[in-house]
Structure 1
Amino acid sequence: MMTDGGIGALERELRTSRQMFRAAFHAAATGKAIVDVTGICVEVNASLAALLGHAPDALAGMHFADFTHPHDIRADLHLFEEVMRGERDSYQMEKRYLHKDGGIVHVLLTATVVREEDGTPISFLSEVVDLTERLEARQALQEANSRLQHQVVTDHLTGLYNRRGFEEALAGPLGHQASLLLIDLDHFKHINDRLGHRAGDMVLAEVGRRLPRQIRDGDVVARVGGDEFGIIMHHADRALAERTAARIVKQLGTVYEVDGAFAHIGASVGVSCTEDGDVSLRELVCRADEALYAAKRAGRSRWQLAA
C-alpha cells in the first residue's frame, strides 16, 4: 500500500518528467510537433514554426496535410495509417513542407507513436530536420562533379569534346541509322609555320565555332587530334551525312582572319554510314578514316563516302 508520502513523491516525479519533456520540446533546435491520431497538430515548437514561417502557435489546430506539399501527402498518410493499424511504431521520410510565403522546405520527418498499454495510439511525436543545407551541399557537389566531368571530356581550345569524350560517345549504342564523319584540316601546318602557333590556335578555335553550326542538336562533334575532328550523327541517313559533309567542306574552306591577317585552309572529310545498325561505331570510324585519306589523295578540300 502506497503512503501519502509515496504518492506525493510519484506525482512530483511525474511533474518533473513532464516539465523536462516540455522544456526539451520547446527549446529544441530541430522542429518538433505533437500530433493527435487524426493528424491534427496539438502543439508545435518554435523551431518548426520558424522553419515554416509561422508564429509559434499558428500551426496548432492544423492538419499536417495542410502544410505538406501536395505530391508528398499520399506517401505520408500511407505511413501514418500503417502506424494506426499497428503495423509499425514509427516512420521516417524525406518530404516537402510548404512555407508560409509559398516556398518549399525540404525536411526529414521522423514520426513516433505513443500508445496506451493495450496498443491503442494516443498521439504522435514528430521530429523535423531541415535538409536545406544538406541538399544545397549535395547539389553543389553534383554540379562540381558535373563541371569536372565536363572538363575531363572537353577540349580547352575549341570547347568541343576531346578524344576522350569522343571515345566515350563511340562506346554508346548505335541505333538504326548512324553516320560518322572524320575531318582533317588541309594545309594547317602552313598556318603554324607562316603565322605562328598562336595563329594556329585561333584558327582551331574558329573551326570549333563553325563546326557545331553545320550539325544538329544532339550530334557529337569532337577535336580528336591536333587538326583532326570527328562527328557522330545518330538517326542520320546517307543523304543527310553527305549534305553535312558538303557544308563542312564549304564552311571550313572560307577565309580566316587572324590578327589582321587572312589565312586560308581547307578540309577533307571522310563519311561512313550504316542503314540498319549492322556495324559498330568503331567500324564506322575505320571506314570513315579510309574515306578521308581517299579524299586527300583525290586532291583535298572535298568529301568522300566510304565504299
Structure 2
Amino acid sequence: MTDDKYRTAVDAAAIYSETDLRGTITHINDQFCAISGYTKEELIGANHRLLNSGQHPPEFFRELWGTISNGEIWKGEICNRRKDGSLYWVNSTIVPIKDDKGQHVEKFISIRFDVTEKQELLEAMQWRASHDVLTTLPNRVYLHDRLHQAISAAQRHEHSLAVCILDLDGFKAVNDRYGHAIGDLLLVEVANRLTRELRAEDMLARLGGDEFVLLLDQVDEELLPAALKRVLDVIAVPFHIDGHLLKVAGSLGVTIYPKDNEGPDTLLRHADQAMYEAKQSGRNRFRYFDVSISKKTRATFKTIERLKQALGQDELRLHYQPKVNLRNGTVIGFEALLRWEHPEWGLLPPDAFLPAVERTDLIIDIGDWVIEQTLEQIRLWTAEGRIWPVSVNIAARHFQLPDFVDRLQALLAKHPDVEPRMLDIEIVESTAIDNLEHVSQCLIDCQKMGVTFSLDDFGTGFSSLSYLKRLPAQTIKIDKSFVRDILHDKDDLALSEAIINLSRTFEREVIAEGVETDLQESMLLGMGCYLAQGYGIAAPMPAEQVTDWAARYELMNR
C-alpha cells in the first residue's frame, strides 16, 4: 500500500502520523495538529519526544520501541502533552512499515484516537474511591495502603512512625445548632488547618464524620508532644464560618511504631483506644496508647467489636415485659428489652454489653434494629387481633441525632400496616434535660406522626415543673428505685406520691416499674397509680411466650 493509500484509509476522526526510524515526524494530518496544539510547520522534522508528558516511566518507551523495532505492532494508551502544557490521552496503534521486500523496517505509522474523556473519568473514579469528596483528603482505603508503605519504610530505615486519631469535641453541637451545611464547611476548614500544620512527609486522612487520622513519619519522640499540642492548639482557635464563630476542640490518640509493633488495622485500633482515653480524661488533650492500658478499657473495645459482629450475625434478641392495669387485670402493652444470645456465654442482659457502646455510633445501629424488630412484632400481634402497644428504649446518642425524626419516619414507612400510635419511645429523664430544646422538638415532631413517648427513670435526675411542662411525653414512669422501697422508706413513698400527683395535674399517664410484690401493687393502687410492670408481674419473655402468658394473666385477674 502506498503512503497516500495509508493516509486515505485512516478514518477522518483518527489522529495520524508517520515517523522515521529515529522518531522524527515526517507526516501528520490535521487532527494531529488540532489535538496537540502545534502547527504542521512546528511538528514536521521534530522528534516525537516533543509530545512527551513525563507521565510514563522510561521502561514504558523501551518496551514500545523494542516492539516496533522488531517489526511488531504495538497497541496501548499514551499520555501526551499539548503545546499549552495540558495533557491528553490517545489510544494508539503503531505499525512498522517494511520495505518492498518485507525485510527491513523503513518507518512507523501511528493511528490514534482521543480517549482523554474516558481517561479523565477513570481517574476521577479512582480518585473518589481513595479520597473523601468533602475535604479531598485520603480516605480509609488510601490510608490503609499508605500505612502499609509507611510501616515497611520504618522497618527498612529503622525510624519511628506515629499513628494518630483525632476526634473533634463539640462538632455534634455545631451540627445540631447550625445544620449539616455549616458542619461540612467546618470539617473542610479543620482539614485545611491540619494540612498546613503537617510536614510534607506526613499524611492526613479522614475516616468519616469528625474523625481524622494523622500519619507522622520519621518522628522524634522527644519532640512529638510539642507537635501534638500544636495540632490541638490549631483546632482550638475559633473558626469563622459563614458569619458564625464556631468553637471546637480535639481529642487525640497516639500510638508509636515500632514500639507498638503491629499491623495497620491494629495500630489504628490502638490509636482509637488512646483517643477514647483522651476523651474520658477531659478532652482537648492527647493520650498515648500503652500496652499496659487497663484490662477494663481493652475489654470494652473488644466488646464493641464483638457486638458489631453480633448485630450482623443475628445474635441479638428482644424480650417483652408486660405492662398491666392493676385495677382491672388487663394487659395494656409491653416494653421491648434487648438481650444478646451469645454463642458461648448464653443469654446476656443489656447491662452486660450496652454500657460499652452507648457512646459509639453502634448504639444508633442497635437502636434502629430494635425499633424495626418491634414494629414487625407489633404487626404480627395486630394480625392476631392483639392490640398491644410496645415501648422501646432509645439511647441518648441515638435520640439526639439531628435526623432522628427522619430515620424514625423511614422505619415506620417500611411497616405501613403498623399504626404509629402502637410504638412508644422511652427516653430517660437525663437525656431530655441535656438537650431540652432539641428533645422537645423531636417529641412534638414524632407525636405528629402518631408515635407516643414515655419519660423513663422520672425523679432520678433534675425533675422540675418547668421540665415537665416543656416535655410533652404522654407517660411518666416512676423509677423502680422508688417503688422498691416504697413500703419502708418514707422519702421514696413521698416522691412516688408527688410523681403520681404531678402526672395527674399535667394530664399524663403514670406507670410504676420494678413492681415485685402484692403489697407494692396495693400501695400503688391506693395512691392512684393503676399501671405497672415488674418481675412481680412477669419477667421479660420471648415473643412466642407472650400470648399464652397474657391469656393466663387476664383469666386469673378478672
TM category, shorter: 0.5 to 0.7
Letter in structure 1 aligned against 2:228: A
Aligned to 1:110: 96
Q: 1:153 and 2:133 equivalent?
A: no
Report the CA distance between 1:247 and its aligned residue. Answer: 1.2
1:76-155 alignment to 2 at 5 Å? 90-92=71-73, 108-115=94-101, 126=107, 128-131=109-112, 133=113, 136-137=114-115, 140-155=117-132
Report the CA distance between 1:270 and its aligned residue. Answer: 0.9
Q: Deviations over 1:40-73 (max 9, x none)?
A: xxxxxxx96455947xxx99xxxxxx96769989
Change (3 A) 1:230 1:124: closer
Aligned to 1:62: none
Q: Deviations over 1:217-269 (max 9, x none)?
A: 24221221311111122333424543332111000011112332212111111
Change (3 A) 1:49 1:296: closer
Contact 1:185–1:266 (Cα < 8 Å) also in 2: yes
1:36-55 alignment to 2 at 5 Å? 49-51=27-29, 53=40
Change (3 A) 1:145 1:192: same
Aligned to 1:43: none
Q: 1:245 and 2:231 equivalent?
A: no
Aligned to 2:200: 217
Letter in structure 1 aligned against 2:94: L
Q: Which portions of structure 1, spanning 4 or more consecutive aligned residues, are displaced by more than 6 angstroms?
A: 70-73, 75-80
Secondary structure at the residue paired with 2:208?
coil
Aligned to 2:274: 291
Contact 1:214–1:244 (Cα < 8 Å) also in 2: no
* Unaligned segments of structure 2, at least 5 residues: 11-15, 33-39, 51-57, 84-89, 155-159, 291-558
Measured in 2, the distance between the counterparts of 1:200 and 1:111 equals 63
Q: Deviations over 1:134-155 (max 9, x none)?
A: xx42x54333222211112222
Secondary structure at the residue paired with 1:224?
strand
Change (3 A) 1:130 1:187: same
What is the number of equivalent residue pairs in this alignment?
241
Measured in 1, the distance between the counterparts of 2:65 and 2:272 equals 59
Report the CA distance between 1:186 and its aligned residue. Answer: 1.0
Letter in structure 2 aligned against 1:212: T
Letter in structure 2 aligned against 1:130: I
1:273-288 alignment to 2 at 5 Å? 273-275=256-258, 278-288=261-271
Q: Deviations over 1:3-56 (max 9, x none)?
A: xxxxxxxxxxxxxxxxxx6xx5434326899x9xxx8xxxxxxx96455947xx
Contact 1:91–1:111 (Cα < 8 Å) also in 2: no
Q: 1:163 and 2:149 equivalent?
A: no
TM-score with structure 1 length normalisation?
0.62
Measured in 2, the distance between the counterparts of 1:32 and 1:205 equals 47
Change (3 A) 1:79 1:187: closer
Change (3 A) 1:76 1:191: closer
Report the CA distance between 1:185 and its aligned residue. Answer: 0.7
Measured in 1, the distance between the counterparts of 2:203 and 2:127 equals 14
Report the CA distance between 1:79 and its aligned residue. Answer: 7.9
Report the CA distance between 1:180 and its aligned residue. Answer: 0.5
Aligned to 1:304: 287
Q: Deviations over 1:111-145 (max 9, x none)?
A: 324449xxxx6x766562333x3xx42x5433322
Report the CA distance between 1:198 and its aligned residue. Answer: 2.6
Letter in structure 1 aligned against 2:132: D
* Unaligned segments of structure 1, at least 5 residues: 1-20, 40-46, 60-65, 83-89
Letter in structure 2 aligned against 1:274: Y
Aligned to 1:272: 255
Contact 2:17–2:28 (Cα < 8 Å) also in 1: no
Change (3 A) 1:248 1:173: closer
Contact 1:221–1:232 (Cα < 8 Å) also in 2: yes
Q: 1:208 and 2:191 equivalent?
A: yes
Q: Deviations over 1:193-224 (max 9, x none)?
A: 33333322222121121111111224221221
**Greater CA drift, 240-249 or 202-211:** 240-249
Measured in 2, the distance between the counterparts of 1:194 and 1:77 equals 65
Change (3 A) 1:141 1:196: closer
Aligned to 2:316: none
Measured in 1, the distance between the counterparts of 2:65 and 2:143 equals 46
Letter in structure 2 aligned against 1:111: I
1:165-180 alignment to 2 at 5 Å? 165-174=142-151, 175-176=153-154, 177-180=160-163
Letter in structure 2 aligned against 1:167: H
> Which structure has the higher relative contact order (CA within 8 Å, separation 6+)?
1
Secondary structure at the residue paired with 1:158?
coil
Task: Give the percent of matched residue pairs that are identical in Structure 1 and Structure 2.
Answer: 23
Change (3 A) 1:113 1:244: same
